[in-house]
Amino acid sequence: MATTTSTQQQADVRFTQRELDGARILCECLIAEGVQIIFGYPGGVLLPLYHVFSEYPEIRHILVRHEQAAAHAADGYARATNKVGVCMGTSGPGATNLVTGIATAMMDSAPVVALTGQVTRSLIGRDAFQETDITGITLPITKHNWLVMDTADLATTIKKAFHIAGTGRPGPVLVDIPKDVFTSKTYFSGYPAEVKMRGYNPTVFGHARQIKQAAKLINEAQRPVLLVGHGVTTSEAYNELMELAERAEIPVISTLQGLSSFPTAHPLSLGMPGMHGNLHANHAINESDVLIAMGMRFDDRVTGNLKSFARNCKIIHIDIDPAEIGKNVPVHIPIVGDVKKVLQVLNLHVNAAKHTEWLEKITHWRGKDAARRENEMARLGVLPPQFIIKTLGEVLGGEAVITTDVGQHQMYVAQHFNFRKANSLISSGGLGTMGFGLPSAMGAKMALGENVPVWTVTGDGGFQMNMQELATCVQEKINVKIAILNNGVLGMIRQWQQVFYDGRYHSTPITGPDFVKLAEAFGVRAWRVTHRDEVARTIQEANDWDGPALIDFIIPQGENVFPMVPPGGSNLDAITEA
């Protein structure tokens, strides 16, 4: 009873308008935003904040081993939930170590608020110890950033930061706070209920006349194709996408970031297009008469040579960011708005339809592609990476969330994992950030809890960039599973050297530690797998293990990812073997 009374008294005091220092005001604001987890690393100018953290048990601080991992973990948390993730670093190197993670979040439209400490106001501009102009550095890789110079501005600034990060096209926002702003006191009258910002009013509903024009074009189409990206996930438009695809019988092609927005095994799913995409997906885009692109930005990895991309069709582009429409590809009907809200209206005007002849043509292309894959799988050695990914999907049965690093293994996941669960792939697509896999899995696991398995698939190169986070997993009891596809080389770069640089393999062989011993040294359960007969059993054992676990899969060194479109080439010119 005494404890309850004490807690109530603390709560009463917490929300009483009163004089507070900046550190406590920041904590009050974060709690008001619903922040429960911060991924961060302390430092000198942040000590006033860490000094008061114990007064706010609602906020759990996850002590990472490198600030880059803090940013990736906040990114993974955000993508898994569509809530704003929060990371934190001190001034100088702590802040700059966040930069790669902030840029990654920017390229993939992930809502992240990065908090950085700054030297005291009187020292700014004097090359003080651990001073950097982090707002200047991050200006081109954030939606917005602030240097807070008055404690009285702190609450309003935090409100604006969360509002911008999580609305419109999601993205990272940085708030830089000098040490003496943390320690100065001001009258705190409560967290603002709302905030208004001149010039920031994202358009979410789409133009009614343009939506009707799009519906008319879709109703008249003979060979329509849906091309879906991450915007479907950020707007959670899964049901609306399914309704449109099935009602109008339109095949669905997913960019890398859109892969888990539509079930892989659905008869209308054609998988991924582009550089390492399915041949039948690229053919379908090329021969479509109407391409409905939504929540995607026509990345060069998707389009290949722009002169040959979708040249026979009319394009409808739905995106919440007007800057993306027409940027890379001319568009016939632009619709600026949130994908979910636009589809809710569009579906009212699209007629039920059958496109039997079109789907039969695609089935023919798909059959040829499937035969190529079967031949590829049959000739592979004792432990092909494609087999590992396919088996991983079968064992996990569609319940897991997968994060990846960047490289060949990322493309094997895109090509061979059976995505059944909406929003179950988290990968660095735009920036292509190695080292993203493990920390993003940590963030996703913290967000999703014990009932959702979270695996990261990584290469031996990418894993070595942030493998120190094994310690974070153990200390913070983050139950992630790690699958390393270990071939002893930087596989994708080696593949490019083989195909496009006359096989001159320079600086691509990479040694690594004994990953099993390394994991065990950190206190992580680990296995090594060298034969395909061991794959399913070991995955199941790791998945069932109560704690972080790692599997070191030893795969062939010279295996390549095919198909592969030469850089600058047409998607129809994909090569299928070296």
Among 272, 294, 465, 492, the one annotated catalytic: 492
Based on the residue annotation, tell me whether 129 is a catalytic residue of this protein. yes
Distance of CA 326 to the CA centre of its chain: 24
- Say yes or no to pLDDT of 13 above 90: no
> Which tens digit of pLDDT belongs to each residue from 530-577?
999 999 999 999 999 999 999 999 999 988 999 999 988 999 889 988
Mean pLDDT taken over the chain: 95
In this predicted structure, which of 1-10, 184-193, 227-236, 308-317 has the lowest mean pLDDT? 1-10
Quick one: pLDDT band at residue 2, thresholds 50, 70, 90? very low
Cα separation of 57 and 64, whole Å? 18
433 by Cβ neighbours in 10 Å (0-12 / 13-18 / 19+) ranks as buried
Structure tokens at 171: 């993205």
Check residue 14 and give its pLDDT: 61
Check residue 567 and give its pLDDT: 85
> Which tens digit of pLDDT belongs to each residue from 120-173?
999 999 999 999 999 999 999 999 999 999 999 999 999 999 999 999 999 999
User: In 3-state terms, what secondary structure has residue 292?
Assistant: strand
Average pLDDT estimate for 19-42? 97
> Which tens digit of pLDDT belongs to each residue from 255-272?
999 999 999 999 999 999
Among 36, 130, 213, 475, the one annotated catalytic: 130
Check residue 5 and give its pLDDT: 45
Based on the residue annotation, tell me whether 557 is a catalytic residue of this protein. no
Based on the residue annotation, tell me whether 436 is a catalytic residue of this protein. no
- Say yes or no to pLDDT of 49 above 90: yes
> Which tens digit of pLDDT belongs to each residue from 283-319?
999 999 999 999 999 999 999 999 999 988 999 999 9
> Which tens digit of pLDDT belongs to each residue from 76-132?
999 999 999 999 999 999 999 999 999 999 999 999 999 999 999 999 999 999 999
- Going by DSSP bridges, is the β-strand pair 401-404/454-459 parallel, antiparallel, or unpaired? parallel
Among 129, 220, 222, 520, the one annotated catalytic: 129
Check residue 196 and give its pLDDT: 86
Based on the residue annotation, tell me whether 272 is a catalytic residue of this protein. no
Helices of type H across 350-459: 356-379, 385-396, 408-416, 437-448
Cβ 286 vs Cβ 310: under 8 Å: yes
Higher pLDDT, 291 or 11: 291
Whole-number percent of the chain with pLDDT over 70: 97
Angle between helices 22-32 and 154-166 (to 10 degrees): 30
Based on the residue annotation, tell me whether 179 is a catalytic residue of this protein. yes
Strand partners, 187: 19
Whole-number percent of the chain with pLDDT over 90: 90
Quick one: pLDDT band at residue 1, thresholds 50, 70, 90? very low
Helices of type H across 249-322: 279-287, 300-303
Structure tokens at 191: 């967290």
Cα separation of 578 and 560, whole Å? 8
- Say yes or no to pLDDT of 280 above 80: yes
Quick one: pLDDT band at residue 370, thresholds 50, 70, 90? confident
Tell me the DSSP string of 445-511: HHHH-TTS-EEEEEEHHHHTTSGGGHHHHHHTT---EEEEEE-SB-HHHHHHHHHHSTT---S-B--
Check residue 4 and give its pLDDT: 44
Among 179, 340, 341, 481, the one annotated catalytic: 179
